[in-house]
Structure 1
Amino acid sequence: MKLDEALFTAIDLNALFILLVVYRERGVTRAAERLNVKQPAVSNTLAKLRVHFKDPLFIRRSKELVPTAKATEIVRGLAPALMRIQDVIRPSGG
């Protein structure tokens, strides 16, 4: 399997992780708090992801963000991939 370098330069891994946290937290502010970053940083990342994926990713409903079908599809593939990456980058030893 050949990696598509253009895809990896078009979007960064941190942005995908932020998407996953927003998905789990169902809110930008809660995700920002969990990630220990400012809310505008999460909002800006989501804006870039919306352009990249050509999808709104989340719809505001009452006080939470509801993922679109596309966001759910992305997260379903992303979560196990990020777990594998975590295993690879985790420092070895005690």
Structure 2
Amino acid sequence: MSINEQVLCQFDLNMAITFLVLFRERNVTRTAACMSVRQPAVSGSLARLRSYFDDPLFIRTKSGMRPTQKAKLLALELSPAMNHIEAALIRNR
């Protein structure tokens, strides 16, 4: 199996975790609590994600953060990949 390390090295995979937790929680503060980090860390990751994907990804609303269409598509692709990584890590611990 081969990976393109050039693509992967340009992206911090921890941001994918932040993205998926934010997608699930729809709230920056709750996302920070779930990840045991401070809110500015989540906000910083969101800023980098927005820049990387050239999309706001989440729109702030009264009830939380609403994902954009691009965020919805990204979550559909990232979620299974991260589930596979998580399962491999658990199986081989």
Q: With structure 1 as the length reference, what TM-score do the two structures score?
A: 0.91
Report the equivalent of 1:83: 83
The Cα shift of 1:7 comes to 1.6
Q: Distance in 2 between matches of 1:42 and 1:83?
A: 21
- After TM superposition, what 4+ stretches of structure 1 lie above 3 angstroms from structure 2? none
Please give the alpha-carbon distance, in whole angstroms, between the structure 2 residues aligned to 1:56 and 1:4: 26
Once superposed, what is the RMSD of the aligned Cα atoms?
1.5
> Mapping of 1:1-94 within 5 angstroms?
2-92=2-92
Shift of 1:87: 1.4
Per-residue deviation, 1:6: 1.9
In 1, Cα distance between equivalents of 2:13 and 2:77: 14
User: Matches of 2:2 and 2:11 in 1, distance apart?
Assistant: 17
Mean alpha-carbon deviation: is it higher for 83-92 or for 33-42? 83-92
| 5+ residue gaps, structure 2 | none
Fraction of identical pairs, as percent = 42
Any idea what the Cα deviations from partners look like across 1:35-58, whole Å, max 9, x if unmatched? 110000000001001010000000
What is the distance in 1 between the residues matched to 2:47 and 2:80? Answer: 24
Using the alignment, how far apart are the partners of 2:7 and 2:92 within structure 1? 29
Deviation at 1:9, TM superposition (A): 1.2
Deviation at 1:91, TM superposition (A): 4.9
**Displacement of 1:2 after TM fit?**
4.3
